Chains A and B, each alone.
Chain A
Amino acid sequence: MEQDLLSAPAPSFPSLPEAPDPDAEWVTLVLRVNGMEHQVRVRTQETLLDALRNRVGLIDIREGCGVGMCGACTVLVDDRIVSGCLMLAMQAEGREIVTVEGLLGPAGELHPVQDAFVEHTGFQCSYCTPGFVVATKALLDEEPQADRDQASAYLGGNLCRCGSYVKILDAVMDARQRLMSDGGGHRARDASGGDSNETSRGDGAPAPPAG
């Protein structure tokens, strides 16, 4: 249940930039999101989540809890996963922000992680899906050979109330295969993946019970 603070390395971000006027309520920033720059005017206490939704106009980052516990607003900031509700917009200036939309290829083709989530239907209401997809991408960047248990630990901070967890893990393991086999080409789709009804779960080894 707890957020897995150990396995997900906490990114260290610099302290807040010096504000020209410490009493200022508003500030103008340039946010670089999915490769495009957006000049936005935000409140100084505004979260990255609110800035991306309300100023940049993205709908693929969503608030679930507002306190960093559900992972629905997970985005990549300089390739590290961040809860958009826990970071101020001002802290993200000058950094590379990537949301799930930013994982698409130049012609709109799905990222292998997205392909795998489609293949296994790793979602129901899909409100949490962008967060899971982004977190999975980060996991497989950090740990390309991650096994099911490692994936489970890494994704412990992303909640899916519909409980699509089994198929999410199926998708993560499939995404690992896709990424390893296509060397990051983001093209090949395993057309022989079979339907998820018939997919064997895991590697057949008994899972150690959690203490």
Chain B
Amino acid sequence: MVAARTVRGPLAPKNRSLMTVSSAGSQRRPGMIDARERVTGRVPYVMDVAVPGMLHAKLLRSVAAHARIGRIDTSRARTLPGVVAVLTGDEIAERAGVFPYFGPVFRDQPALAIDKVRFVGEPVAAVAAVDADTAAEALDLIDVEYEELPAVFDAREALESGAPLLHEGPPRIGQTFADVIIHAQGGTNVCNSFRLRKGNVEDGFARATHVFEDEFSSPPVQHVPLETHVAVASFTGGQLTIWSSTQIPYIVRSQLAEMFGLPASRVRVIVLTLGGGYGAKCYPKIEPITAILAKVTGKPVRLHLTREEEFVTVTKHGVSIRMKTGLDGNGRILARQSTCWFNTGAYADIGPRLIKNGGYGTGGPHAIDNVWVDSYAIYTNLPPAGAFRGYGISQAAWAYETQMDMIAERLAMDPLELRRINLLKDGDTVMTGEPIEDAHFHELLDEAARRIGWDFTDWQSGRTLLDGGRKARAKGLSCIIKGTVTPSTSTAAAKLNDDGSLQVLTSSVEMGQGLQTAMAFLASEAMALPIERISISSPDTDFTPYDQQTSSSRSTQAMGGAIVGAIEEIKAKLRALASEQLEIAPDDLEFANGRILPKGAPDRGLDYGEVIRRDRAGNIQGSGTFQTKGGLDPETGLGIGSVHWHQAAGAAEVEVDLETGHITVLRYHAGVYSGRTINPVQAELQTEGNVAFGLGQALYEEMLFDNGQLQNGNLGDYMIASIEDMPADLSIHVLEHLEAREIHGIGETSLPPVMPAIGNAVYRATGVRIRDLPLTPEKVLRGLQELRDGKMGGSASSADASGERELEGAAA
């Protein structure tokens, strides 16, 4: 095994001692500030919340993929001892007095199915009982009559005329995020669409020497947070309080306020640490029905999903992407046209927004003057698809980074060289039309190639055979670009207490990414105060200020910026008070280690707390706001797609058993740009975690449906990466460029390269080009058989591979 270490950018930061994890001295910083609680099992999750008198809820779920709901007989369930309430969708409006629909863009998802069910697993009835076993028992006593309707599961089939229609009537569009672009028509299964029109693709294809058109797909997969969704809701005195395992407390608050007709000030959302999120816990999921049951019963209610329920609560979008790329004779990309059919399932969730990122994302990290994208979110009778780590970029990158290698082979080029010719450099325009600054794709990819020992000579000799030809080894590369939600807003508050300690109030969610630790590091640096004197809150919307969302790899930059702003306000007030007390001009004071000091006379300094006590100020408060501007034109998709661009590269070496098709990832290198790393330990953990997450999606993960019924919705049948799947040799490169004075989130960025880097390596090892994730042994073996049978291209895909076409200016 090879030692892996974080390599940093060339410049030494200012005040490096404040940031460096050092093994010597008192500045040594923990990887996570509450590590002790975490290794002793004492860190509390929402799952551990118990409210006196609490009832337990269970949901009866649809066995039909698409059906009219006939009679629901709940009479037997209601008489079971211990059952307090049984509720159906039709009863919600009447018994709870609430608007029964929710969704972060369209209000299309009912808390319980109303009139019809749209996927297998959709909640149809809810029971609240004295304990979970009783509630589960009651579910068996509910009889539901379904009148089956034709169902559709494939996104493109759902677009055909005569396809079963999921949602009748116009979409109920509600208040949503500033960056969301809506082109919703209603009356079809197109939930939303996004278009990007940069330059003139017809002209670009006309000038192209080579035009290639290929199709790629990624399946729906599940996030599998080990902690499933859980919520506890309570109504007291006209106020709704809900503890929820959500990544986005403020959206849960606004949606519940809307449903219940309450002012936002009467809805309190409390979040504890999450047992993983990965996007699954963005936006309301189980909070509406839990709160409704609390209102109906007048008692606190707890709902905690089983693993099987979690699988049908939200998924990654399955997608097919058709991608046409035109290049000149030197391998320079002149035009790209993509069509993306995102299967958004039965309800919109955040699909209407995700297709924007996944759509423009197909432009890739390449300088292309002419880009045309049509991206669709399409309703089908599958569980709702929503936010998933990578947010559409994994699917886009799987397409363009696989196609880059296919093109390189067709042009007999080194795939590294083809990428080098096209990768964005400072000043190039990204796919959404704005010039990029702070571009480091070349640096990341070159380092990835170096670390994996990239040694391309030609496409015929890319592999090493072992075991008498039974096994083959080869390497693959990839490089990606990802945006972060723009515009966006985070706010924070802080209180400096009269003992000199600091409380930071933030609504960003700790979900294992080390949010609280990173915020503590930033606050410590800004306030010039040891970490031990700083506390970082968990979200509680009664006390902690607005944060848009803990997602999109934005929190360290956005919430960090808000917290530093709050601290700057405190420091200004503290400086003014100390200036009076010490009779020294404010500008002649500085902050160090919890004290405010006259420059040049540190012995005359005062502890922060003493300044506050002398003034009888009680405490000093500050507030801060971090806001980014931007957004895309709804018609052209051009504008500021992201406040800055996240960048990553990957390199894999695989070994494929040519007799069994089994793939082993021997080596992997992940490179990611952080701007400035706040917590090196967490930066490594997040990046290693992305490799594990990506390995699972590359090799195993796929939700398998049979007529809408999930076949592998448990951890016995659905494989995620285990410790044994990790590459024996894993190296991490967190690239810093401190002169850019920016923090780039790294929570997702290194994930999208994993799948295409492995896929490209598998191709070079086997000659089998798999276009449809995951890379299963069956696909490898089928492809090898096709190669032996003399079929061209080694495609193991069901999608037709049109290969190269010499086109004359025919951009459709």
Residue numbers of A with Cβ under 8 A of B are 1, 4, 43, 58-62, 64-67, 69-70, 72, 99-101, 104, 110, 114, 117-118, 120-121, 123-130, 133, 148, 152-153, 155-169, 192-207, 209-211
18 A-B residue pairs with CB within 8 Å: A59-B47, A62-B226, A65-B714, A100-B39, A100-B41, A114-B40, A123-B39, A125-B273, A126-B273, A159-B720, A163-B690, A165-B723, A169-B723, A197-B681, A198-B5, A201-B4, A204-B1, A211-B657
* Residue in chain B with minimal CB distance to A122: B39
Residues of A close to B39: CB separation below 8 A: 100, 110, 114, 117-118, 123, 126, 129, 133
Instruction: Choose among B35, B40, B224 the residue with the greatest number of A CB atoms under 10 Å from its CB.
Output: B40
Q: How far is the CB of B774 from chain A (nearest CB, A)?
A: 12
Establish whether residues A125 and B276, one from each chain, have CB atoms under 8 Å apart when the complex forms. Answer: yes
Give Cα A206–Cα B689 distance, bound, in whole angstroms: 22
Residues of A close to B723: CB separation below 8 A: 152, 155-156, 158, 160, 165, 168-169
- 5 closest residue pairs by CB, A with B: A60-B41, A163-B692, A121-B31, A125-B512, A202-B1
Interface residues on B, range: 35 or more
Does residue B685 face the partner (Cβ distance < 8 Å to A)? yes
Q: How far is the CB of B345 from chain A (nearest CB, A)?
A: 22
- Which residue of the partner chain, among A65, A152, A153, contacts B307 with CB atoms under 8 Å? A65
Establish whether residues B724 and A152, one from each chain, have CB atoms under 8 Å apart when the complex forms. Answer: yes
Residues of A close to B226: CB separation below 8 A: 62, 64, 70, 72, 125, 127-128, 159-161
Give Cα A192–Cα B24 distance, bound, in whole angstroms: 8
* Residue in chain A with minimal CB distance to B657: A211
Residues of B close to A120: CB separation below 8 A: 31
Establish whether residues B31 and A201, one from each chain, have CB atoms under 8 Å apart when the complex forms. Answer: no
Establish whether residues A164 and B689, one from each chain, have CB atoms under 8 Å apart when the complex forms. Answer: yes
Establish whether residues A66 and B306, one from each chain, have CB atoms under 8 Å apart when the complex forms. Answer: yes
Residues of B close to A198: CB separation below 8 A: 5, 23
Give Cα A161–Cα B279 distance, bound, in whole angstroms: 13
- Interface stretch, picked from B207-215, B234-242, B725-733, B798-806, is B725-733
Report the number of A-B residue pairs with Cβ-Cβ less than 8 Å.
220
Does residue B655 face the partner (Cβ distance < 8 Å to A)? yes
* Residue in chain B with minimal CB distance to A195: B21
Establish whether residues A192 and B700, one from each chain, have CB atoms under 8 Å apart when the complex forms. Answer: no
Does residue B36 face the partner (Cβ distance < 8 Å to A)? yes
Residues of B close to A157: CB separation below 8 A: 722
Q: How far is the CB of B1 from chain A (nearest CB, A)?
A: 3
- Which residue of the partner chain, among A4, A66, A126, contacts B38 with CB atoms under 8 Å? A126
Give Cα A128–Cα B720 distance, bound, in whole angstroms: 14
Give Cα A207–Cα B44 distance, bound, in whole angstroms: 38
Instruction: Choose among B28, B44, B225, B276 the residue with the greatest number of A CB atoms under 10 Å from its CB.
Output: B276
Scoring B residues 687 to 704 as 1 if CB is less than 8 Å from chain A, else 0, what string do you get?
011111100000010000
Q: How far is the CB of A193 from chain B (nearest CB, A)?
A: 7
Give Cα A181–Cα B692 distance, bound, in whole angstroms: 32
- Which residue of the partner chain, among A60, A64, A196, A202, contacts B715 with CB atoms under 8 Å? A64
Establish whether residues A66 and B307, one from each chain, have CB atoms under 8 Å apart when the complex forms. Answer: yes
On whether A59 and B48 interact (CB within 8 A), knowing A123-B39, A158-B723, A167-B688, the answer reads: yes
Q: Which of B102-158 contact A (CB under 8 A)?
A: 133
Q: Which of B657-701 contact A (CB under 8 A)?
A: 657, 662, 664, 666, 680-682, 684-686, 688-693, 700
Give Cα A202–Cα B30 distance, bound, in whole angstroms: 22
Residues of A close to B274: CB separation below 8 A: 125
Establish whether residues B23 and A121, one from each chain, have CB atoms under 8 Å apart when the complex forms. Answer: no
On whether A165 and B681 interact (CB within 8 A), knowing A118-B39, A125-B226, A125-B276, the answer reads: no
Give Cα A112–Cα B23 distance, bound, in whole angstroms: 19
Residues of A close to B93: CB separation below 8 A: none
Instruction: Choose among B43, B274, B719 the residue with the greatest number of A CB atoms under 10 Å from its CB.
Output: B43
Give Cα A164–Cα B113 distance, bound, in whole angstroms: 39
Give Cα A43–Cα B136 distance, bound, in whole angstroms: 14
* Residue in chain B with minimal CB distance to A172: B723
Establish whether residues A206 and B41, one from each chain, have CB atoms under 8 Å apart when the complex forms. Answer: no
Q: How far is the CB of A4 from chain B (nearest CB, A)?
A: 8
Establish whether residues B688 and A164, one from each chain, have CB atoms under 8 Å apart when the complex forms. Answer: yes
- Which residue of the partner chain, among B44, B686, B688, contacts A165 with CB atoms under 8 Å? B688
Given A60-B41, A64-B227, A163-B689, output 17 extra A-B contacts at Cβ < 8 Å: A1-B700, A59-B45, A125-B273, A127-B226, A161-B224, A161-B226, A161-B276, A164-B685, A165-B726, A166-B4, A167-B685, A197-B680, A201-B3, A201-B4, A202-B3, A209-B666, A211-B657
Residues of B close to A162: CB separation below 8 A: 276, 512, 685, 689, 692
* Residue in chain B with minimal CB distance to A158: B723
Q: Which of B723-745 contact A (CB under 8 A)?
A: 723-726, 728-730
* Residue in chain A with minimal CB distance to B732: A166
Establish whether residues B6 and A197, one from each chain, have CB atoms under 8 Å apart when the complex forms. Answer: yes
Give Cα A60–Cα B1 distance, bound, in whole angstroms: 34
Give Cα A161–Cα B662 distance, bound, in whole angstroms: 22
Does residue B721 face the partner (Cβ distance < 8 Å to A)? yes
Give Cα A35–Cα B626 distance, bound, in whole angstroms: 51
Establish whether residues B512 and A60, one from each chain, have CB atoms under 8 Å apart when the complex forms. Answer: no
Establish whether residues A99 and B41, one from each chain, have CB atoms under 8 Å apart when the complex forms. Answer: yes
Establish whether residues A159 and B715, one from each chain, have CB atoms under 8 Å apart when the complex forms. Answer: yes
Give Cα A74–Cα B47 distance, bound, in whole angstroms: 18
Scoring B residues 326 to 366 as 1 if CB is less than 8 Å from chain A, else 0, what string do you get?
00000000000000000000000000000000000000000
On whether A200 and B6 interact (CB within 8 A), knowing A59-B42, A162-B689, A167-B685, the answer reads: no
Residues of B close to A125: CB separation below 8 A: 225-227, 273-277, 511-512
Does residue B32 face the partner (Cβ distance < 8 Å to A)? yes
Establish whether residues A59 and B41, one from each chain, have CB atoms under 8 Å apart when the complex forms. Answer: yes
Residues of B close to A159: CB separation below 8 A: 226, 715, 720, 722
Q: How far is the CB of B275 from chain A (nearest CB, A)?
A: 3
Give Cα A64–Cα B387 distance, bound, in whole angstroms: 21
